[in-house]
Structure 1
């Protein structure tokens, strides 16, 4: 078989190139520390490795969300803890104000303390997170949620949006609480209605006013604004907002349940002729409205216009402060539950990540001892080929003459 010089050079050049390429590949494996770099290295392992990496990337995304969720809920939990403390101090001050020995100036000083507490609570309600967004404004994170009005009322400027982050494949966690839910939607301690006392000489008060039978409640036909009028201690007439009589009895007994239009009302105390009050629908009462009522009650001083009614209002305000405290504790507890959920999910991700990294390592990571041995063998083979080629290409027939 005849081999031309050109063919000889081509074949040897090709062989040297292959061996050099093999050495370069070995260097890439060693420098990267990985056994599988592309699908051609090991197609089956490369496909499995892609799955591992995809799961690891997902978990890393969830962990970033977990960090954000943990920070936000920790801030919420701390905020409600501070709000609980302020409300407890406000309650103590309000109880202190119900003391007949205090002067008007003493009561005004206590009212100022309650106002300071209102300012502190307002500051909490306008808390910002690490990004500068308001945590109690719903979706409108750039809008200050609460603002104090000249009459000591507080208005809410946010919305009811609930922001969430995904911390696992099927698990979402809240990262905020809308301000209306956090501070305005406190359950009315009396039920579904609040009284306005038009005339109260006996000191009667509403103990309960609830929609007991929702199917029978028809606010369109008999709208609330239910006025209770005692023409005598036993004669009671109840009219709706249209002036239509919805209940009437001449044998009222103190403490009995008055039922009409699906509504049940129970009073405490013994009514006197002329006692009159109106019930308006109000299922929830703002914490700030309760504080406003407390301020106004204390500022009424030692000689309120109607001392009997003043005493009735004291009990109702105190009960609603307790309801606000319970609401705040509930909100704080819910934030704590979310933090526990986040912690558990973080632990689950850590365990899963450890297993995935181990699986990835088993497939991808390089056996350095074996790789270096292979690399050295490839280098020796390349050097031998190079030396052989140099020696052979210098041979001619003149060497044998």
Structure 2
């Protein structure tokens, strides 16, 4: 009888411990809101959740890259818009230079105004991106990419563009050489830069020895060059605007991807709260029953048995 009583006691203890562990486990799941807390809970679901988490992290990285690209493209689009406005002002001044009633002093005044516009354009071309770089540095430059030399403005950046490290092709810079120095020459035989176009017409307007016919020719050629560089600047601005439009579409795809990954992770590891509460209540009932059984077995003794 003592062996039977000992077995009953040991069995009730084990049952109580098992019920207590199950209750504690159910309570932990309710607290965390997770069905899968460790990989051993459900290896397949845990693997699904891990893949979904990796997809979420990748989406967040893509979003950061997108924001960086959007910031640079906004600055580029704004800068090229400023350049277009300045070139339009320059064009109007050159038109005035063709006024037959203007003398050398009048044309020199126009040339001075054009020099001021040229200086502003150089500042726009060397505009920073707010992160220690330059919007028009191409593939990068440690210093302002456009340098004014005795022979004219030269580009010391790296041709091309930098793209963000993301799943989408998102630009982080603009090819400054193409935007500012790469306009097609009106003759179709080469290229002309924003600064060369201005330097040429400034030189002509400042030359008091030119005849009226020569001034007229200089104005005509100057306008053709300015129109060429304006068109090139506007083309680059349109490309920046297109990149901005693309970021909006990419952002929508990133959001969808992140939501899908978040949903997949939730489906893999989150609790069905209604089912979890029901399970907890059932385990609570089972634990209470095991506790009562343990109390009854604990009160059993040889004397109680003999007195029966």
Tell me, yes or no, whether TM beats 0.5. yes
Q: Is the 8 A contact 1:167 1:345 kept in 2?
A: no
Deviations 1:216-263, CA, capped at 9 Å, x for gaps: xxxxxxxxxxxxxxxxxxxxxxxxxxxxxxxxxxxxxxxxxxxxxxxx
Mean CA deviation greater in 1-10 or 330-339: 1-10
Deviations 1:79-117, CA, capped at 9 Å, x for gaps: 111111111111111111122322333222221211111
Question: 2 CA distance for matches of 1:362 and 1:20?
Answer: 28
Question: 1 CA distance for matches of 2:247 and 2:6?
Answer: 72
Question: 2 CA distance for matches of 1:68 and 1:185?
Answer: 26
Q: Is the 8 A contact 1:125 1:136 kept in 2?
A: yes
Q: How many residues align?
A: 306
Task: Check if 1:297 corresponds to 2:296.
Answer: no
| SS of residue in 1 equivalent to 2:233 | helix
> Where does residue 364 of structure 1 map in the other structure?
269
Question: 1 CA distance for matches of 2:186 and 2:201?
Answer: 15
> Where does residue 29 of structure 1 map in the other structure?
29
Q: Which has the higher contact order (CA 8 A, sep 6+)?
A: 2
RMSD (CA atoms): 2.5
If each structure's strand is expressed as a fraction of its own residues, which one has the higher value? 1
Question: 1 CA distance for matches of 2:28 and 2:127?
Answer: 53
Q: Is the 8 A contact 2:108 2:206 kept in 1?
A: yes
What are the within-5 Å matches in structure 2 for residues 2-401 of structure 1?
3=3, 11-149=11-149, 151=150, 153-168=152-167, 171-192=168-189, 283-301=190-208, 303-304=209-210, 308-399=213-304, 400-401=306-307
Q: TM-score, normalised by structure 1?
A: 0.69
Question: 2 CA distance for matches of 1:16 and 1:178?
Answer: 74
| SS of residue in 1 equivalent to 2:200 | helix
Question: 2 CA distance for matches of 1:23 and 1:185?
Answer: 74
Q: Is the 8 A contact 1:69 1:175 kept in 2?
A: yes
Question: 2 CA distance for matches of 1:338 and 1:159?
Answer: 20
Question: Which runs of 5 or more structure 2 residues have no equivalent in the other structure?
Answer: none
If each structure's helix is expressed as a fraction of its own residues, which one has the higher value? 2
| SS of residue in 2 equivalent to 1:177 | coil
Question: 1 CA distance for matches of 2:40 and 2:11?
Answer: 25
Q: Is the 8 A contact 1:152 1:292 kept in 2?
A: no
Q: TM-score, normalised by structure 2?
A: 0.88
Question: 2 CA distance for matches of 1:134 and 1:87?
Answer: 21
